[in-house]
Each structure stands twice: as C-alpha cells, then as structure tokens.
Amino acid sequence: MRNLIALYFPIALFLFCIFLGFFLADSSTPKNDAVSWMTLVVAAAFFPVVVPMAVLERLLKRRSPQPKPQPKLSNPITRRNLPLSLR
C-alpha cells in the first residue's frame, strides 16, 4: 500500500503541473473562477480515471470523419458578372 501511495502522489503532482500549464495558457478560462481551479484539482486527484478518458476522447475525435472543406470558387457568381439576359 505504501508503494502505491508513493507512486500515486508524484504522478498526481506531475499531472497537476501539466494541467496547470494548459489551464494558464487557455485564454478563454477565467483565472479567478473557483470552479475552474476545483476542476483542475479534481482532474489531478482522479488522474487514474481522467487521463484514460481524455485519451479515449482524443482518439475518438481523431477517428471520426472530418467534414471535407468546400472548395472556394475562383470566380463566384455575382450579379455583376452575370450576362444581361440573366440579371
């Protein structure tokens, strides 16, 4: 049991530092919101559950078919470039 705890805390601290880096780099998240900080702490504390779920989510996103971008027309049809008979 001691070995498990000795292994758990360094990994949790390491992941907390990684999550903290992502959190601080994210400009859309308010840094003074208590819920954001609690999410960060919970994610680091429950990493045996959170990390595999995050990896699975990223793998599923990567495998899902991406919509193909529509090609842009080089000369889009506008009222100005229509023949007079079609205006």
d(CA 26, CA 42): 18
Confidence band (pLDDT; 50, 70, 90) for 5? confident
- pTM of the predicted protein model: 0.50
pLDDT in tens, 35-86: 989 988 888 888 888 778 888 888 888 887 777 777 776 666 666 666 666 6
DSSP 28: T
Q: Tell me: pLDDT of 30 over 90.
A: no
Contact criterion met (CB below 8 Å) for 44 and 16: yes
Residues 6+ apart with CB under 8 A from 7: none
Of residues 7 and 83, which shows the higher confidence score?
A: 7
At 87 the pLDDT is: 58
